[in-house]
């Protein structure tokens, strides 16, 4: 027999090779072995333990917040402590809208965080809900003029809002008319007690409404002549009877950017409108912005004025407690947290927004540290963080020339120069301008820029007398050096300076 031949009897019983192992023994059921040796559930549990996600540890802690949104500036509370007098003043003026009359225009003044916008929104919400209750057509439209800061944008935004509302009104009327038409087809007596004498009259009205809807073209945010945008807004607001209150928040920003044309157009609209009426409610941080208005606009806009005074520490404490009861879980705050937040905010002209930001940030810091409660230390950390964020934002938005002057001061301080004077800053400033190919301003102009930095709280500039040598400014930084330098170098224009440090002559103080 050939050595390569296989004896016929050797594997006679191995028709299914899977049933035996390499030595001819029957193969074991592997599933049975696994289930016998290892519990499948244990394997899955072990895999879950090994695959802990990035957020699992963070979610394992008990949350401190119940509803964090209550602490944000955008939230409008159901009750505003210590603002009843101002709210009642607004309500007394605006109640005429519920009688179908035109309310007087209102100007609301007050510093940041004194409850102006929150109070105005609260009153507006009450006005709209009451108008629905008594079936009176009254609407409030809110515009933030810090964002929508040109006449075109204001008019376009208002036009589009009213066009959208008109579409809804037309759609409702069309649904009613089509329903009426279908019933008239079945029984012409259905027209009795309606304003329509025939089926043709119903069809004509449906055609007219569909034409109205098609002709109400939304206004693009750019590209149209301003007078066309104004016409679209005028026609949209006057489409049916209603009283409209237009709330212009940060109204001074609109005047600063675009002049008083928008306010002039809005304030004279009532003399031309046939079916609707408009009232303006302006909100401003600047009590003097009306000084720059046309006398006619000023007289019509400022028919009623309401001033919001700053909150004191006790009032801020009430406001924070009122919000904290809703925002945090029970016993999440130690007793000294709210008084400390109120005290910090009261130092800055009673800014409730600042106090709420402080409390929210303290809560977030405590939650990140997986602490069970918010404590005084968290408030102090939050104060430092908010202050640094403010500095970063102010420095980031400085004009390029101011950034170069500030960078010169930083370089002097980093090289051990104290009691820096204007001449030293100017010498380094000139070198920096050469490095980045920027225009060199005069020393007088640089002195003005230093004064502006002083007003912003970024540097401290004090005029000192040098006797017969005259007077000079001694300058020092009021902000953290490293963080401020990092913000400046993030500017693409100043980024090259990092590797071109100009020579600074060290000076030693006695």
Q: What proportion of the chain, given as a percentage, has pLDDT over 70?
A: 85
CB-CB contact of 377 with 337 (8 Å): no
Give the pLDDT band of residue 281 (cuts 50, 70, 90). Answer: very high
Give the pLDDT band of residue 117 (cuts 50, 70, 90). Answer: very high
Which residues carry a binding-site annotation for ATP? 114-118, 311, 323
Determine the angle formed by the axes of helices 400-414 and 481-489, rounding to 10 degrees.
140
Q: Distance between CA 272 and CA 152 in Å, rounded?
A: 20
pLDDT tens per residue, range 373-385: 999 999 999 988 8
Structural domains of the chain, with CATH: 83-307 (3.40.50.300), 313-393 (1.10.8.60), 398-497 (1.10.10.10)
pLDDT tens per residue, range 406-461: 999 999 988 888 788 888 999 999 999 988 888 999 999 999 999 999 888 889 88
**Which structure tokens are listed for 492?**
């693409």
Q: Distance between CA 450 and CA 421 in Å, rounded?
A: 11
Output the pLDDT for position 386: 84
Q: Within 13 Å, how many C-alpha atoms sit on residue 346's CB side?
A: 16
Output the pLDDT for position 12: 43
Output the pLDDT for position 295: 86
Q: How far is CA 106 from the centre of its chain?
A: 24
Output the pLDDT for position 31: 45
Output the pLDDT for position 286: 85
Output the pLDDT for position 32: 45
Q: Distance between CA 479 and CA 453 in Å, rounded?
A: 11
pLDDT tens per residue, range 305-360: 999 999 999 999 999 999 999 999 888 999 999 999 999 988 877 889 989 999 99
Output the pLDDT for position 178: 92
What global pTM score does this model have?
0.71
Which residues carry a binding-site annotation? 114-118, 311, 323
- Non-local (6+) Cβ contacts of 36 within 8 A are none
How far, CA to CA in Å, does 102 sit from each of 87, 94, 123, 172, 275? 19, 8, 16, 27, 12
Place of tokens 């006005």: 127
Task: Report the SS3 class of residue 464.
Answer: strand
How far, CA to CA in Å, does 429 sit from each of 218, 404, 436, 451? 52, 6, 11, 15
CB-CB contact of 251 with 289 (8 Å): yes
Q: Distance between CA 202 and CA 179 in Å, rounded?
A: 11
Q: Distance between CA 117 and CA 282 in Å, rounded?
A: 10
pLDDT tens per residue, range 22-64: 444 454 454 444 444 555 555 445 555 555 666 776 676 678 8
Q: Distance between CA 105 and CA 127 in Å, rounded?
A: 15
Q: Distance between CA 402 and CA 448 in Å, rounded?
A: 10
């Amino acid at each position: 027999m050939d050595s390569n031949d296989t004896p016929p009897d050797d594997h006679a019983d191995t028709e299914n090779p899977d049933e035996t192992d390499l030595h001819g023994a029957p193969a074991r059921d592997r599933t049975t072995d696994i289930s016998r040796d290892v519990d499948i559930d244990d394997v899955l549990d072990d895999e879950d333990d090994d695959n802990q996600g990035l957020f699992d540890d963070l979610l394992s802690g008990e949350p401190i917040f119940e509803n964090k949104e209550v602490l944000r500036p955008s939230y409008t509370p159901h009750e505003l402590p210590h603002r009843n007098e101002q709210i009642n003043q607004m309500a007394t003026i605006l109640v005429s809208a519920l009688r179908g009359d035109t309310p007087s225009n209102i100007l609301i003044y007050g510093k940041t965080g004194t409850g102006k916008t929150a109070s105005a929104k609260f009153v507006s919400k009450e006005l709209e809900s009451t108008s629905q209750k008594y079936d009176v057509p009254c609407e409030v439209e809110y515009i933030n003029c810090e964002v929508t800061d040109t006449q075109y944008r204001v008019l376009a935004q208002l036009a589009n809002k009213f066009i959208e509302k008109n579409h809804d009104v037309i759609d409702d009327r069309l649904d009613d008319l089509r329903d009426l038409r279908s019933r008239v087809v079945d029984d012409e007596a259905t027209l009795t007690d309606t304003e329509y004498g025939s089926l043709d009259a119903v069809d004509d009205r449906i055609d007219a409404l569909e034409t109205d809807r098609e002709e109400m073209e939304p206004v693009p945010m750019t590209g149209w002549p301003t007078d066309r945008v104004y016409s679209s807004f005028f026609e949209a607001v006057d489409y049916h009877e209603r009283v409209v209150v237009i709330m212009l928040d940060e109204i001074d920003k609109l005047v600063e950017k675009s002049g008083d044309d928008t306010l002039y157009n809005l304030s004279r609209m009532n003399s031309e409108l046939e079916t609707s009426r408009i009232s303006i409610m302006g909100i401003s941080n600047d009590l003097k912005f009306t000084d720059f208005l046309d006398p006619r606009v000023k007289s019509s806009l400022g028919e009623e004025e309401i001033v919001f005074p700053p909150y004191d520490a006790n009032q801020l404490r009430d406001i924070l407690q009122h919000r904290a009861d809703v925002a945090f879980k029970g016993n999440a705050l130690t007793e000294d947290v709210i008084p400390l937040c109120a005290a910090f905010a009261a130092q800055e002209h009673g800014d409730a927004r600042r106090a709420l930001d402080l409390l929210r940030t303290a809560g977030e810091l405590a939650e990140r540290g997986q602490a069970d409660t918010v404590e005084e230390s968290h408030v102090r950390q939050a104060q430092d963080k908010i202050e640094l964020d403010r500095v970063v934002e102010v420095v980031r938005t400085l004009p390029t020339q101011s950034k170069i002057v500030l960078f010169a001061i930083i370089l002097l301080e980093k090289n051990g120069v104290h009691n820096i004077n204007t001449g030293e800053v100017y010498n380094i400033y000139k070198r920096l301008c050469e490095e980045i190919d920027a225009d060199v301003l005069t020393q007088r102009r640089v002195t003005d820029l230093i004064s502006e930095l002083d007003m912003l709280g970024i540097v401290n500039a004090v005029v000192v007398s040098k006797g017969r040598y005259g007077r000079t400014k001694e300058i020092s930084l009021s902000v953290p050096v490293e963080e401020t330098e990092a913000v400046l170098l993030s500017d693409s224009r100043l980024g090259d300076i990092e590797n071109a440090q100009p020579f600074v002559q060290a000076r030693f103080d006695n």
